[in-house]
Amino acid sequence: MTSAAGLAAQFAELILAVLLAPMLTGWVNQCRAWLQNRSGPGVLQPYRMLLKLFRKEVVLAHNASPLFRIAPYVIFACLALSAAIVPTLSTDLPLNAAADAIALVGLLALARMFISLAGMDVGTAFGSLGARREMMVGFLAEPALLMVLFTASLISHSTSLATIVGTLAKNEFVIYPSLAFAGVAFTMVSLAENARIPVDNPATHLELTMIHEAMVLEYSGRHLAMIEWAASLKLFVYSCMGLALFVPFGIAEGGDSAGILLALPVLAAKLAVGGALLALIETLSAKMRIFRAPEFLGIAFLVAVLAMLVRVLLES
Amino acid sequence: MTFASLGLQIERLEGVAPAWRARVGAAAWRECAEQLAAKGARLAALWACDERDRAGGARVLALYASAEGLLCLDLAVSDPPWVFPDLSDLFPCAGRMQRAAHDLNGVRAVAHSGAAPDARPWLRHAGWPANRHPLARDFDAGAQFAPTGERYAFVPVEGEGVHEIPVGPVHAGIIEPGHFRFSVVGEHVLRLEERLGYTHKGIEKRFEALGLLGGAKLAGRVSGDSTVAYAWAYAMALEGMAGIAPPPRAAWLRALLLERERIANHLGDLGYLGNDGGLAFGLAQFSRLKEDVLRLNERLFGSRYLMDRVIPGGVACDVDAAGADLLHAQGTVLAEELRTMRRIYEDHSGLQDRFIACGRLAPELAARLGVVGLPARASGIAIDARIEPGLAPYDRLEPRIAMLKNGDVAARVDVRFEEAFESLRLVGHILAALREEPAGGTAVELRLPPAGAFGLGWVEGWRGEVFVALEAGPDGSVRRCHPHDPSWQNWPAIEHAIIGNIVPDFPLINKSFNLSYSGQDL
């Protein structure tokens, strides 16, 4: 049963995510610049970057396979679809019936698989090096992310994100200790998954230390633009997922069209605060040695399991 | 007396640097090297000079440094096949210098017994044919050659799961070109081999075209970040040959410029070390501090990096009372800010986790490799030309050496902090001395030295000791000029410091040494 309002909300959410995601990246970079006493390039810089890349010609390696060419589009599509699943403005999302939290994790994994394959495709040392590191981070981060989502599912008895958000948003005055643990674990996983400090450094020019950047070194032009855009979308998706799970207030209930209009400024405010906090974490931390990343993600997993135990033992 | 006991006929060279020269035969060349190695002297530089227009053949020169001073051994290589006894078993740093001497002059080091030394080219990147030598006097500097397409034989590492990561010479960031070949298992580095020489631009050949006076300007451009050190070393060599001494005020001003250069470079390095550890805040802060230093340089001396301020005969700038006040005020502010930044770096657990025990160069290994300058002091080796020999005006400044024993990145960071503080202190003393010193002449007229005059310059730049060996030709021409950067000695140390570390730590280790490409590629 799909309502016209639901379809509209779904569509609005998708467009919003795709259009606003670069601005969130720009905002985080701007905050970082301010925190480092620099003036910064402004929040619109990622758009200028994308425009520049779309106008540039694509330089392909001679031995690049078709996979190398289609990967940017597949990755972008995966992330765009993920953005459509996470409730940002309204919980009345037709796609939610088709894909739940586990499907979301699967979509993110699919994008990761393609970017890793593309990294290895041309056969340069850096591509494989980055892909290898990305898989290491990914396979440690995914279980922790699933545990976080399971904790939230246990509270709302559903793995559908819309139901989770609906349940959590309604029980305004109940405090869940389990969600506090889950929040910590989710923050750690998000830092690792989005190639942020302390796991990876999105601003580095040192090819030997790169994870995400090493995989995309061979990309140029519109392909690189799609990948950069997808990376912005990923940050947006994770931010919205965090907001949906831990501060779900202000998201419109099903069919409430006035609520959607109100949800937009609320979302913008929440993202602005979240982005500023991310910039703060990044400014205060140094990058870890790469072999600290398993410890870091191991702790994230442990905390996520604790969250679930707290939920099962104390709250039910 | 290390040098006198060698049983050579040694001749004191003119100039402020305590330096001697002796002509030796092939047997004495090797014997002296063995004795000097046993007595703890270090090989400071090795180069060759074409002599076919005079005695025939070529000469190979080795410069040794010890507590006593410098000793330059001069070996004539007159007969084909132009070989001389290898020194790389006694002094590992000789290996690359000997390979460069072969590329440029065609003289080949040959082992007396045991292992044959490395015969691969070092500076010659197939840019000229193997049988042509750019420093031969009949070599046309403007000649163009088709690339010969030779391949460089890297040392292969074999074993289960070992693979190679080639990095550079084109990097993802804007840095100087160098190629690094890692043999790794997973993230662990088994072996690193450096391939440098991408910025070879024929500086030594160019000196010969410019002449003694024009060469001063070029000396300041051998390695742009050490322009004061090179210009001073060149001026020291030339003044010694000409038998003149710069006015005392010029000596103070030279020290002032050298310490300002050291401060600016250490500030820049400290920022980049933080940034490579992922703490961009450090880079932003230190860049700001360095920029303040550079801007005041521009304002008072007319050059941000102090280029062409040291000239043969003296200096091309002076500081008045108002300028001294500005320098003094900046020093006070800088010391305070530096203390704050040091506290932030030392209290930052994430950054310290990256620095400590990373890229360790043990004191014994550093001594064996003949490491000099800042990395040597971080590995417990007390070498600082400002203290020993302590040439004027450092004899009146008594600089304190900054020395640590750990030899890791953290030690090299700490030595930078210590030296920056010490340089700020020295600047204060220099400014006080300049106030006492009567204003007036900052340079004396230069006389051209006679043909065949030979001089040495020895200055502790911010990386380590910089040498310039200069030989005059007739009518103010340069017969041979060899500028020597401490990077020659220190580059091989990085190959050892990285072993057992992980690949992503290499940029940090490399930055903690921060060696010159241009200065060693010449």
Residues B189-210: what's their mean pLDDT? 92
Query: Do A286 and B288 lie within an 8 Å CB cutoff?
Result: no
Q: Does residue B318 sit in the same domain as residue B256?
A: yes
Query: Do A287 and B278 lie within an 8 Å CB cutoff?
Result: yes
| Residue of A198, A208, A287 lying closest to B167 (CB–CB) | A208
Residues A258-274: what's their mean pLDDT? 89
| Last residue in a domain, options B59, B84, B110 | B110
| Residue of A209, A285, A291 lying closest to B350 (CB–CB) | A285
Residue B4, pLDDT score: 79
> Does A124 touch chain B if contact means CB atoms closer than 8 Å?
no
Predicted TM-score (pTM) of the model is 0.91
More confident residue, A95 or B399: B399
Query: pLDDT of B235-253, one tens digit each?
Result: 999 999 999 999 999 999 9
Q: Give A290's contacts in chain B (Cβ within 8 Å).
A: 187, 502, 504
Contacts of A69 (CB under 8 A, 6+ apart): A60, A223
Q: Rounded to the nearest 5°, which phi and psi values hold at B64?
A: -110, 145
Q: Give A126's contacts in chain B (Cβ within 8 Å).
A: 165
Query: Do B353 and A286 lie within an 8 Å CB cutoff?
Result: yes
Q: Given a cut of 60, is residue B173 above it in pLDDT?
A: yes
Q: Does residue B261 sit in the same domain as residue B310?
A: yes
Residues B362-379: what's their mean pLDDT? 93
| Residue of B171, B283, B351 lying closest to A207 (CB–CB) | B171
**Which of B330, B341, B346 minimizes the C-alpha distance to B281?**
B341
Query: Do B504 and A209 lie within an 8 Å CB cutoff?
Result: yes
Which of A31, A32, A34, A36 to probe by mutation at the B interface, max B CB count within 10 Å?
A36
Query: Do B173 and A206 lie within an 8 Å CB cutoff?
Result: yes
> Does A28 touch chain B if contact means CB atoms closer than 8 Å?
no
Count of the separate structural domains present in chain B: 3
Question: Does residue B152 lie within any of the structural domains?
Answer: no
Query: Does residue A202 contact residue A212 with C-beta atoms inside 8 Å?
Result: yes
> Does A197 touch chain B if contact means CB atoms closer than 8 Å?
yes
Q: Does residue B47 sit in the same domain as residue B105?
A: yes
Q: Give A209's contacts in chain B (Cβ within 8 Å).
A: 276, 504, 507
Query: Does residue B195 contact residue B178 with C-beta atoms inside 8 Å?
Result: yes
Query: pLDDT of A51-63, one tens digit each?
Result: 999 999 999 999 9
Which of A287, A288, A291 to probe by mutation at the B interface, max B CB count within 10 Å?
A287
Question: Does residue B215 lie within any of the structural domains?
Answer: yes
| Residue of B276, B278, B288 lying closest to A197 (CB–CB) | B278
Question: Does residue B122 lie within any of the structural domains?
Answer: no
CA distance A38 to chain B (A): 7
| Last residue in a domain, options B94, B110, B126 | B110
Beta bridge partners of B129: none
Query: Do B507 and A285 lie within an 8 Å CB cutoff?
Result: no
Residues B105-115: what's their mean pLDDT? 80
Q: Give A283's contacts in chain B (Cβ within 8 Å).
A: 280-281
For the residues of B385-400, what is the DSSP string, one character each? TTTTT--TTGGGT-PP
Work out the percent of chain B whose per-residue pLDDT is above 70: 99
Q: Give B173's contacts in chain A (Cβ within 8 Å).
A: 205-206
Q: Does residue B299 sit in the same domain as residue B259?
A: yes
Give the integer Cα–Cα distance in Å for B60 and B45: 11
Question: Does residue B214 lie within any of the structural domains?
Answer: yes
- Characterize the bridge pairing of strands B69-77 and B188-195: unpaired
| Residue of B164, B284, B504 lying closest to A36 (CB–CB) | B284
Residue B115, pLDDT score: 62
Residues B458-465: what's their mean pLDDT? 94
CATH number at residue B374: 1.10.645.10
Which of B162, B276, B287, B413 to probe by mutation at the A interface, max A CB count within 10 Å?
B276
- Cα distances from A58 to residues A75, A85, A219, in angstroms, run 18, 32, 8
| Residue of A32, A217, A285 lying closest to B278 (CB–CB) | A285
Q: Given a cut of 70, is residue B1 above it in pLDDT?
A: no
Q: CB-side exposure of A225: number of CA atoms within 13 Å?
A: 16
Q: Does residue B226 sit in the same domain as residue B293?
A: no
Q: Give A37's contacts in chain B (Cβ within 8 Å).
A: 284-285, 288
Structure tokens at B16: 């402020």
Residues B45-74: what's their mean pLDDT? 90
3-class SS at B480? strand
Give the integer Cα–Cα distance in Å for A93 and A169: 16
Query: Do B187 and A208 lie within an 8 Å CB cutoff?
Result: no
Confidence of residue B497 (pLDDT cuts 50, 70, 90): very high
Q: To the nearest whole number, what is the mean pLDDT of chain B? A: 91
In which residue are the tokens 């990309």 written? A219
Confidence of residue A254 (pLDDT cuts 50, 70, 90): low
Q: Does residue B259 sit in the same domain as residue B326?
A: yes
Nearest CA in chain A to B164: A125
CA distance A31 to chain B (A): 12
Give the integer Cα–Cα distance in Å for B105 and B469: 16
Residue B55, pLDDT score: 81
Query: Does residue B382 contact residue B366 with C-beta atoms inside 8 Å?
Result: no
Nearest CA in chain A to B355: A289
Q: Does residue B221 sit in the same domain as residue B275?
A: no
- Characterize the bridge pairing of strands B108-110 and B83-85: parallel
Q: Does residue B388 sit in the same domain as residue B476?
A: no
CA distance A191 to chain B (A): 14
Query: Do B277 and A292 lie within an 8 Å CB cutoff?
Result: no
CATH number at residue B23: 3.30.460.80
- How many A-B residue pairs are in contact by the CB < 8 A criterion? 81
Question: Does residue B118 lie within any of the structural domains?
Answer: no
Q: Given a cut of 90, is residue A197 above it in pLDDT?
A: no
Residue A173, pLDDT score: 62
Angle subtended at Cα B300 by Cα B297 and Cα B303, rounded to the nearest 5 degrees: 45
Query: Does residue B285 contact residue B341 with C-beta atoms inside 8 Å?
Result: yes
Residue A235, pLDDT score: 96
| Residue of B281, B351, B504 lying closest to A208 (CB–CB) | B504
Q: Rounded to the nearest 5°, which phi and psi values hold at B10?
A: -100, 145
Give the integer Cα–Cα distance in Å for A83 and A252: 17
Question: Does residue B120 lie within any of the structural domains?
Answer: no
Give the integer Cα–Cα distance in Å for A125 and B168: 12
Question: Does residue B422 lie within any of the structural domains?
Answer: yes
Q: Give B279's contacts in chain A (Cβ within 8 Å).
A: 285-286
Confidence of residue A176 (pLDDT cuts 50, 70, 90): confident
The whole domain housing B470 covers 210-241+448-484
Confidence of residue A260 (pLDDT cuts 50, 70, 90): confident
Q: Does residue B279 sit in the same domain as residue B381?
A: yes
Give the integer Cα–Cα distance in Å for A12 and A219: 31
CA distance B60 to chain A (A): 40
> Does A196 touch chain B if contact means CB atoms closer than 8 Å?
no
**Which of A101, A111, A106 minimizes the C-alpha distance to A77?**
A111
Beta bridge partners of A15: none
Nearest CA in chain B to A214: B172
Which of B162, B163, B165 to probe by mutation at the A interface, max A CB count within 10 Å?
B165
Question: Does residue B41 lie within any of the structural domains?
Answer: yes
Query: Do B165 and A207 lie within an 8 Å CB cutoff?
Result: no
In which residue are the tokens 């002076």 written? B318
Q: Does residue B233 sit in the same domain as residue B360?
A: no
Q: To the nearest whole number, what is the mean pLDDT of chain A? A: 90
Work out the percent of chain A whose per-residue pLDDT is above 70: 97
Q: Does residue B432 sit in the same domain as residue B455?
A: no
Q: Does residue B357 sit in the same domain as residue B336?
A: yes
**Which of B461, B456, B467, B310 minimizes the C-alpha distance to B384?**
B461
- Characterize the bridge pairing of strands B454-460 and B58-66: unpaired
